[in-house]
Structure 1
Amino acid sequence: MSVYETEVKSPKTVEDCLIMIANIDCDFRIIAGGTDAVVRMKEGKWRPKTWINIKGIQELRFIKKVDQQIHIGPLTTHSDIVHSAILKGKADVLIDAAREVGAAQIQNAGTIGGNIGTASPAGDTIPALYVLGTVIELSSVDHKRYIPIEEFFIGPGRTVKKDYEMITNIIIQPQEENEISIFQKLGPRKAQSISIVNVAISLSMEKGTNKCVAGKIAYGSVGPTIIRAKKCEAMLTVNPLTAPHIQNIAKVAWKEVMPISDIRASAEYRRDMACSLLERGLYRLMKRWDRK
C-alpha cells in the first residue's frame, strides 16, 4: 500500500460528529472498526483527505429492547451480536450471520454499522437484516429519518445516505414464538473469505404442524444488492414443508438470483449453490421446528 497524507478527526459524541460532517469542506469518510477500510486502502480505492474516526463514540454501541423492537447501535461489533442474550431466540439469523463474519479478530473489531455502510452485496449481516424487517435510522444536525432496509441500498457500495448523515440506530423486529430463522453461507471457512453465496431465511410456522404461514428469503452475493426471493417465498405457504415441496422451492431459486461470474465463482455455479443453500437451510429449519 503506497503512503499518502490524510487527516484523522475523532469526535467524542454523536452531536460533535454530526456538526463536523455538516461543515467539513473536503473529501472524507467515516471509519469505525476499519476492517473494510484497510482492504479498500490497500486496493487504492478509499483515499479521502480526512477520516472521521467514530470508534470512541460509546453511545453508538448498544443492543436494547425498546417497546416491541430491538435497537442495535451501529458501533455494535459482530462479537457483541454473537454473545447477546437479548438477540438469542429473537434474532437467531443475525447471530448466525455475525458468527460467519471472518475470523475472531474481525468479529471483535468489525461493526454492524460498517457492514451496512460499506453496502457490499456480499455483506453477511445484510440478508439477515432484510428478513428481520430492519429499519435504518439516519441522523443529521437538523433531523432524523427512518429508511426500510430494502430501500436503503441502491447498488454495490451505494446507499441513500447523504454525506451529512450518519447511521445512528438499526431497528429490527424480533422473532415471535412461532418463528424460526437461519443464515447459510458458501465460502471457504478456513480462509474466512467473503461469501460466494449467502442466504437468510425466516419462517412463521403454524403450531403443531409443518405448515408455513409466512416467510422471507434474502440472498447475498448474487446481485448488485440483496435479492428477496419473492417467488420462493410465495411457494412456502402453498403446501406443508415436506421434502418434495422443499426441493421444488429450491429449484425456483435458480431463476430468482442474478449472479455474475468473477474470480471466486461462475454465475452458473452461484445459481446452483443458491438452490442448494436454500434447500439445506429449509431442511435444517424444519428439524429445528420439530424439536420445539
Structure 2
Amino acid sequence: MNVSEIDMVTPETVEECLYFLSDKEKSVRLLAGGTDAVVRMKDGIGRPETWINLKRLDSLRYIREESNGIHIGPLTTHTDIIHSKLLWNKADVLAAASNEVGGVQIQNMGTIGGNLGTASPAGDTIPPLFVLDAQIELSSLAGNRIVPITKFFNGPGNTVQTQDEMITNIIIRPQAENEIGIFEKLGPRKAQSISIVNAAISLKMGEGPRNCIGGKIAFGSVGPTIIRAAKCEKMLSLGPLTDETIRDIADIAWKEVMPITDGRATAKYRRSMASALLARGLYRLMKRWEER
C-alpha cells in the first residue's frame, strides 16, 4: 500500500472526529503532528485504510490552569509547551522535556497527545507526566472517561485507548512553591535523537540545606513502559540529600530499571546510565535549590 492509496478525512469538530472513529467497517488512525506515524507507515507499520487528520481541531490545542489542575490539549505542540510561562513556573519538568524533543521542526509539529498515543517507552514527555500525576481524558460517542497515566499504558505501542476513543484532555498536578523538577536525557547525538535512557525527577523541599521531604522519579526507555523508581523515591526523604546519599540512591536505580538490549544500547549500559542520569539530576536540583 502506497501513501497515496490511503484515504484521509479532516473533521471540523471533535464530534465529527468521534463519528469517524466509530466506523467499524474501516481501519482508521488519528494523525496529529505525524512525526512518528508517517515514519512508521513507511516502515510497513500501522497502515490504516483512512487517516483522520486532526489539523483543524483547534479546540484541542490549549494550556490553561483550572481549579483541578493544569489542562493541556492533546494537539498542543512541544513548541507551545516550551513557550508556556505557566508550565515553566508550575510544571518545569514537562517544559524541560519538550525542550529536548528532537529539533525545532519536530517540536513545531509533534504534539503531546501524539506522544501519549504512540506509547513509546522512549517518549520524552511521558516520564514527566508520570511525576506530575497526569490524568488522561478519553472520549467516544458513548461518553468520556478519565484514566490515570499509571493505568494508561499496556506495553510498547499499546494503551487502554479503544479504537473509537481519542484523547481530548490531559490534566496535570501543578508543582507547589517548594517543588522543583528536572528532565535528564541520554541520546545517541545532541538533537533529533530517540532517548537511550531518560528520567524525570520532581522533589518537594523542606527547610534547611538539601532537606528533601519527598519526590517522584520516573524512567523512560528502560522497560516495556515507564518505570517509577519506588525504592529510590522512599530514600529521598530519609535525610538531607548529601553527595553520599545521592550516590546511594543512584545505586538503587540500577536495580529498579528493567532494560533490554537493542540496536541503540545494551541492557547493562542502560542500567548504568539510568543510575548516572538520576545522580546528575539530583545534583543539579540541589544546586538549583541552594541558589534560590
TM-score, normalised via structure 1 length = 0.98
Instruction: Identify the residue that residue 17 of structure 2 maps to in structure 1.
Output: 17
Instruction: Identify the residue that residue 200 of structure 2 maps to in structure 1.
Output: 200
Aligned AA (1:229): A
Mapping of residues 1-292 of structure 1, within 5 Å: 3=3, 5-292=5-292
Aligned AA (1:283): Y
Offset of residue 2 of structure 1: 5.1
Aligned AA (1:31): L
Going from structure 1 to structure 2, the CA distance change for 1:19 and 1:106 (only over 3 Å counts) comes to same
Q: Distance in 1 between matches of 2:91 and 2:191?
A: 26
Q: Provide the aligned length of Structure 1 versus Structure 2.
A: 292
Q: Distance in 1 between matches of 2:45 and 2:25?
A: 20
Q: Distance in 2 between matches of 1:188 and 1:155?
A: 24
TM-score, normalised via structure 2 length = 0.98
**Stretch moving more, 273-282 or 82-91:** 82-91
Aligned AA (1:177): E
Going from structure 1 to structure 2, the CA distance change for 1:90 and 1:191 (only over 3 Å counts) comes to closer
Offset of residue 68 of structure 1: 4.2
Q: Distance in 1 between matches of 2:3 and 2:39?
A: 14
Aligned AA (1:107): Q
Offset of residue 88 of structure 1: 1.6
CA contact (8 A) 1:136 1:169 kept: yes
Q: Distance in 1 between matches of 2:81 and 2:208?
A: 30
Offset of residue 291 of structure 1: 1.3
SS in structure 1 of the partner of residue 96 of structure 2: helix
Offset of residue 39 of structure 1: 1.3
Offset of residue 67 of structure 1: 1.0
RMSD over aligned CA atoms reads 1.2
Q: Distance in 2 between matches of 1:286 and 1:48?
A: 48
**Stretch moving more, 199-208 or 219-228:** 199-208
Q: Distance in 1 between matches of 2:283 and 2:88?
A: 21
SS in structure 1 of the partner of residue 26 of structure 2: coil
SS in structure 2 of the partner of residue 219 of structure 1: strand
Aligned AA (1:46): G
Gaps of 5+ in 1: none
Deviations 1:51-81 (A, max 9, x none): 0001210000000011141000000000000
Deviations 1:80-113 (A, max 9, x none): 0000011122011001100111010000000000
Q: Distance in 2 between matches of 1:189 and 1:98?
A: 17
Deviations 1:209-252 (A, max 9, x none): 31211110000000000000000001111121000000000000
Q: Distance in 2 between matches of 1:191 and 1:179?
A: 28
> Would you identify which runs of 4 or more consecutive aligned residues in structure 1 move more than 2 Å?
1-4, 188-191
Gaps of 5+ in 2: none
SS in structure 2 of the partner of residue 285 of structure 1: helix
